[in-house]
Amino acid sequence: MTHTRTILAVLLAAVAMACTQNGGHIGRLFGSWVLESATCDGSEMTMPEDTETFWSFQSDLLRVQLADKHHTAENYFGNFTELPDGLLRLDFEHTDDNNPDGGGQYAAPQWMGFPATGIFTLRIVSCDSKRMELIWQNKEGQLFVYKFSKTW
């Protein structure tokens, strides 16, 4: 009986330790968000046909996924930092031996109006457990508004 209790205690401890991320705080952005709408200077943007765009946040990593109706997906990776005053900094300047600076899997989501590479600062207009709205102004002065819904 003692042997069974010891095994049970070890298993419970392992499960409890697996549930903690970043000191227990995973942040309000954590999880996956689907793009519901995007506008540029007030006009609805045209997204690639029959696709959905997902942004997934974990730790300081951002995965942007363009998925089609057949569940084929293209994934792009960057880093993010939530700054004071409701700002969100996205960094798409990474490289490796197979991908140039801001290229390949490290490119920014160009179909959303971003250049392929760079560091972009967006304003978090609103963010709760179900919805998020971001705005970004590019160097040319165009104003982009992105509205997301939380998927998980």
* pLDDT value, residue 54: 97
User: From CA 113, how far away is CA 144, in angstroms rounded?
Assistant: 8
**pTM, two decimal places:** 0.81
Confidence (pLDDT) at 1: 58
Out of 67-76, 98-107, 115-124, 142-151, least confident range = 98-107
- Quickly name the fold that domain 27-150 has: Lipocalin (2.40.128)
- Supply the pLDDT for residue 16: 47
Residue extents of the structural domains in the chain: 27-150
Highest mean pLDDT pick, 24-28, 29-33, 67-71: 29-33
How far, in Å, CA of 71 to CA of 68, rounded?
A: 5
105 CB contacts (<8 Å, ≥6 apart)?
Answer: 75, 76, 77, 99
Q: What pLDDT is stored for residue 15 in this prediction?
A: 45
Terminal CA-CA length for the chain: 40
Residue 21 has pLDDT above 60, yes or no: no
**Choice between 22 and 152, residue whose per-residue pLDDT is larger:** 152
DSSP letter for 38, please. Answer: E
pLDDT surpassing 70 at residue 17? no
What's residue 4's pLDDT? Answer: 57
Taking CA 147 as the corner, what is the angle to CA 109 and CA 48, rounded to the nearest 5 degrees? 40
